Amino acid sequence: MAHHKRNVLPGFRLALGFTVLYLGLVVLLPLTAAFIKSASLSWVDFRAAVTSPRVLASYRLSFGASLIAALVNGVFGFLVAWVLVRYHFPGRKLVDAVVDLPFALPTAVAGIALTAVYSRNGWLGHWLEPLGVNVAFTPLGVTVALIFIGLPFVVRTVQPVLEDLDQEVEEAAASLGASRWQTVTRVLMPMLFPSLLTGTTMAFARALGEYGSVVFISGNMPMKTEITPLLIITKLEQYDYAGATAIAVVMLIASFCLLLLINLLQAWSAKR
């Protein structure tokens, strides 16, 4: 007599129905509304709204600063994850907790704190200004804020993979005559690269839509330090809902492509 294993969760059809309903109400419905609202514009008006000089300048800043921040986080996030996994030192648990601080800290608070630190009379800003380095209210300040909010994504993606790696692999490479550089580049990196690439891409996607931590330190100067999310808010305040949703659609498509890339990278990583 066959015994059927009883599942704790509902059957596939019922669970799928709840999943589709939930995603439809919470995710798809608002996004569809954005597309419908932007569709009220003609193609000429839509193109003009998303390609005006001010909008293009915000694209360059948002995408450029996000890319630089993601690459910086890819390097230093890997180093932080390596130190947390490979070394035991006093305060290690505290450092591990600090990595998650950008997740828990309200982004507006982070923006105010970064502005206070890097402004001309701030703790670090008054030392940097005589050197000709201005951080607050410049594109550099935007990049610093995006580095701050993106670091945990790289660390928390690479860290579990490092923990699963057996140190005997490194010892075997050393016993066969490999240098430290060869061990890192030819033994460790092929195994860590998928997770590192995934974390870097997630940091880039997160930085692309960041608003709270950037709005204070950027200075919000049109054509110079105005990010795309802020430009969307500005158009909403001006009751230009169609123009705001048109720009939002462009950012939405870019974010969707990035998330699709992340999923493909995760699937590739799982097969290795």
* Assigned domain for 15 exists: no
* Assigned domain for 23 exists: no
Q: How many domains does the chain have?
A: 1
Tokens of 161: 């993979």
User: Hey, what amino acid is at 225?
Assistant: T
What pLDDT is stored for residue 1 in this prediction? 47
How many Cβ atoms from other residues are within 10 Å of residue 68's Cβ? 18
Residue 9 sits at φ, ψ, to 5 deg, of -80, 160
* Assigned domain for 28 exists: no
How many Cβ atoms from other residues are within 10 Å of residue 170's Cβ? 17
What pLDDT is stored for residue 5 in this prediction? 58
* Assigned domain for 21 exists: no
What pLDDT is stored for residue 107 in this prediction? 84
How many Cβ atoms from other residues are within 10 Å of residue 204's Cβ? 24
- Provide the CATH number for the domain around residue 240: 1.10.3720.10
- Report how far residue 45's alpha carbon sits from residue 50's, in angstroms, rounded to the nearest whole number: 9
What pLDDT is stored for residue 7 in this prediction? 62
Question: 24-49 burial, b if ≥16 CB within 10 A, otherwise e?
Answer: eeeeeeeeeebeebbeebeeeebeeb
* Assigned domain for 192 exists: yes
- Report how far residue 112's alpha carbon sits from residue 212's, in angstroms, rounded to the nearest whole number: 9
User: What global pTM score does this model have?
Assistant: 0.84
* Assigned domain for 67 exists: yes
* Assigned domain for 36 exists: no
* Assigned domain for 68 exists: yes
Domain that holds residue 83: 46-271
What is the per-residue DSSP string for the chain? ---PPPPSSPPHHHHHHHHHHHHIIIIIHHHHHHHHHHTTS-HHHHHHHHSSHHHHHHHHHHHHHHHHHHHHHHHHHHHHHHHHHH---TTHHHHHHHHTHHHHS-HHHHHHHHHHHHSTTSTTHHHHGGGT---TTSHHHHHHHHHHHHHHHHHHHHHHHHHHS-HHHHHHHHHTT--HHHIIIIIIHHHHHHHHHHHHHHHHHHHHT--HHHHHHH---TTTT--HHHHHHHHHHTT-HHHHHHHHHHHHHHHHHHHHHHHHHHHHHHH-
What pLDDT is stored for residue 6 in this prediction? 61
232 CA to centre of own chain = 19
- pLDDT tens by residue, 7-23: 666 667 777 788 888 88
Which residues of the chain fall short of a pLDDT of 70? 1-11, 266, 269-272
